[in-house]
Structure 1
């Protein structure tokens, strides 16, 4: 009896010492991950408010669903990173830089290690001046403060965590919206752009049963990527997903909504049974490389008849179910490598020449009715505004490594082929691109897409970078990925 008791005491003491030692080793490990997340509401505090995403401005009078800045903070002993996904169509760099500076002051995270992106939902308040929508200055100030507050709360909630990642494919929601002009009936005919030139071989969003088009470019990226963060005991903390679908729409004009991005967050939370945890679980869906991809199948003869929010709910549920099926197979790590690199590069701006500017000013002088009606007048105004732009612009690019996962950023509406090229060349096992991040610089067509024309290439504040901007951006991103992979 005495011997058994003596053995038990020795076992408990030695076992306790061993456990203490393991805990001490874990606490001292510089690679130990801590993470926290917080969804900070950014629904407008007052209405009516301007909503952009179209050629003409319109005003919402209420919110259908709340808008959020979904914030995730990850750190180890050497590196701190914050990732923010905002329910917004686009946010200008100036506002993002101010939010980063304020968040950095509150948390100590360097601004170069903060990533802020917009989902590109077309039913959110105007934060950037595009076409005939101008930002509500009070809302932009509110947005800046809320983003910084969200980062601070996510950072302060950081706890010992483990991280895993993965992806599934969901191609059924994706359709390339750029269609080649019909060539077998009249091989010389091209489409006229808003500047009066018959030079376009592409029609964007051609409509249903359009005899003028032959076939879609038909390039999509079906990968639904995700990063999962849990507490050490398996309690879910956050999930960051990425999907290359522009937006869905169908939201009545008098309402603001987070579109399918926000609906996905609600539904994946339910699918993962993470609605009752404390602190609250945070899901975020970032916009991938979807500058030329939407949810409309123009191969159909007629447009499907759907109720408002019906397709949003369908797409969100489908993606949430895909995540839920893959979730149990995620392998987690407590000490994955954590690295980030940021670099600024200068790219050229496409500006009108003197003749183009004079023609635009003449058109506007002869048409004093506002808002402007018709693409030629709308793009004439864009021409006059771009004339005041500088000859070049500096943009921020980032590459993040979390274990064998790479996350890169681009401040543009990035095309699918760019995202696929980055994934193919990445030295990391899995990689995805968050677009509309750290600023807004319009569409980013590759040079060959510029030659084809189409809406995404028409010179405006929504598409103003020089044709060689895409190769410069892609080259820099690939180099940054190589740097963080080492």
Structure 2
């Protein structure tokens, strides 16, 4: 969910955090394709994209209160890559929306399994987390746009089906790059003991968590030496449009579109564990330039890599809605907002009070969500169903049996923010109880444990 922005603050934020266009890769030297090793079955890959159509009447997801956009920049899309070897296929899809719950995505994955033949365990649907697209879920004081949500559901199925129908022999390339300057831990400790959300932060004391700069690039070339599919991953909140106030795929989505114009093929961005990280310093255009440069530099360094094993696993995990103290929750929201966002304090307090009122009767309820792991040779992708705190993502990476393990948050479901236990103690917007944050403390660690268990399962010979 957005870094607390609602229409009162949207324009100011958009002016700083917009754009994310990738630089040209015209000078990239050709890379020789890796010959098929051992005479085994070929690696086949297909990729496709489907445009989404929004209009100015639709509520934009990403703020505390309902807002609307006027016009659009670039395209909103669902993209998909299908990878097959020895009869095993996986589908990796990404959608230019804020997030979607399993109530929306389960039927989509069931239809893909039924009509395309890819098992649900082998389908990962990631939301890019753009804060500038029509709403596809209920959050704060607004709900989904029903027509747009149905359109997204159809687009995912269409993109995966189209990708599966376009499989061609490919070779796999990989490199791990980094981008350290676009994003930072945004849960800054202030000198009054509160955690930064919006407003001034001149009383900065220190960051309260890590930033993950890793930027992996997974790329596939066909027999004509043309890029078929390029996927990259980075872990900063997807906020900002080149043109404030317009619908937009935001910084990463705009980047994928510019990359495609330069390189061909289909480019996919997978949002990493960014629940605690945002860009707080750079303009949108500068974000675009720097991330583009990093992706270009990483792509220039890719090396052929064996992809002789494809596997996936997905598991349902139970968790509970947290118990909360209404008086303490109200005091935390009001204390912060009256000091740091006085112009919107009453509105914010009202929205949070309304959410807590509805959640009060659900305290202690048991719910379930998906955790997923995909193995592509010696590389693993973990799908987690939340705005996952970066520390938790790093913990999974450190415990994984795969050296190259990457997190795709907001995958297959959305259950709000999942902070680590220490972050729960510190408080702040991401911990305040609401539709954006309601799972009991420890759920993030539980998700990590399940993810590591799945990775260990996939690592077995």
Shared fold (TM-score, shorter chain, > 0.5): yes
For the residues of structure 2 that align with 1:408 and 1:105, how far apart are their CA atoms? Answer: 24
1:23-76 per-position Cα deviation (integer Å, ceiling 9, x unaligned): 9984xx34x3111000111232x4411101111101224222210111000112
Matched residue of 1:387: which SS? helix
Matched residue of 1:71: which SS? strand
Shift of 1:102: 2.0
Partner of 2:16: none
Partner of 2:29: none
Shift of 1:219: 1.6
Aligned pairs (5 A) from 1:440-455:
440-455=414-429
Shift of 1:87: 0.4
Between 453-462 and 245-254, the greater mean CA deviation after superposition: 245-254
- Which residues of structure 2 form unaligned runs of 5+? 1-34, 332-343
Partner of 2:113: 104
Contact 2:217/2:298, CA 8 A, preserved across alignment = no
Matched residue of 1:237: which SS? strand
For the residues of structure 2 that align with 1:354 and 1:403, how far apart are their CA atoms? Answer: 49
Q: 2:257 aligns with which of 245, 255, 266?
A: 266
Partner of 1:227: 218
Q: 1:80 aligns with which of 75, 89, 97?
A: 89
Please say if 1:236 is aligned against 2:210: no
Contact 2:46/2:168, CA 8 A, preserved across alignment = yes
Contact 1:351/1:391, CA 8 A, preserved across alignment = no
Q: 1:41 aligns with which of 46, 51, 55?
A: 51
Please say if 1:207 is aligned against 2:207: no
Contact 1:406/1:428, CA 8 A, preserved across alignment = yes
Partner of 1:160: 169
Partner of 1:295: 279
Contact 2:178/2:214, CA 8 A, preserved across alignment = yes
TM-score w.r.t. length of structure 2: 0.84
Shift of 1:353: 6.5
Contact 1:226/1:242, CA 8 A, preserved across alignment = yes
Between 93-102 and 448-457, the greater mean CA deviation after superposition: 93-102
Please say if 1:70 is aligned against 2:70: no
For the residues of structure 2 that align with 1:405 and 1:418, how far apart are their CA atoms? Answer: 19
Contact 2:209/2:391, CA 8 A, preserved across alignment = no
Aligned pairs (5 A) from 1:401-416:
401-416=375-390
- Which residues of structure 1 form unaligned runs of 5+? 1-21, 183-188, 191-200, 276-280, 298-303, 305-310, 360-370
Partner of 1:128: 137
Please say if 1:347 is aligned against 2:319: yes
Matched residue of 1:62: which SS? coil
Partner of 2:351: 378
Shift of 1:77: 2.2
For the residues of structure 2 that align with 1:152 and 1:250, how far apart are their CA atoms? Answer: 30
Partner of 2:337: none
For residues 56 and 146 of structure 1, do their structure 2 counterparts lie closer, same or farther at Cα, with a shift above 3 Å needed? same
Shift of 1:409: 0.8
For the residues of structure 2 that align with 1:356 and 1:429, how far apart are their CA atoms? Answer: 43
For the residues of structure 2 that align with 1:141 and 1:268, how far apart are their CA atoms? Answer: 28
Taking only aligned residues, the RMSD between alpha carbons, in angstroms, comes to: 2.6
Partner of 1:257: 248
Q: 1:143 aligns with which of 134, 144, 152?
A: 152
For the residues of structure 2 that align with 1:428 and 1:179, how far apart are their CA atoms? Answer: 32
For residues 101 and 262 of structure 1, do their structure 2 counterparts lie closer, same or farther at Cα, with a shift above 3 Å needed? same
For the residues of structure 2 that align with 1:284 and 1:261, how far apart are their CA atoms? Answer: 9
Matched residue of 1:400: which SS? strand
For the residues of structure 1 that align with 2:285 and 2:435, how far apart are their CA atoms? Answer: 31
Matched residue of 1:117: which SS? strand
Partner of 1:195: none
User: Which of the two has higher C-alpha Rg?
Assistant: 1
Shift of 1:336: 2.4
Contact 2:241/2:251, CA 8 A, preserved across alignment = no
TM-score w.r.t. length of structure 1: 0.80
For residues 102 and 62 of structure 1, do their structure 2 counterparts lie closer, same or farther at Cα, with a shift above 3 Å needed? farther
Matched residue of 2:367: which SS? strand
Greater RCO structure (CA 8 Å; 6+ sep): 2
For residues 357 and 433 of structure 1, do their structure 2 counterparts lie closer, same or farther at Cα, with a shift above 3 Å needed? closer
For residues 355 and 207 of structure 1, do their structure 2 counterparts lie closer, same or farther at Cα, with a shift above 3 Å needed? closer
Shift of 1:332: 2.2
Alignment: residue pair count:
413
Shift of 1:152: 0.3
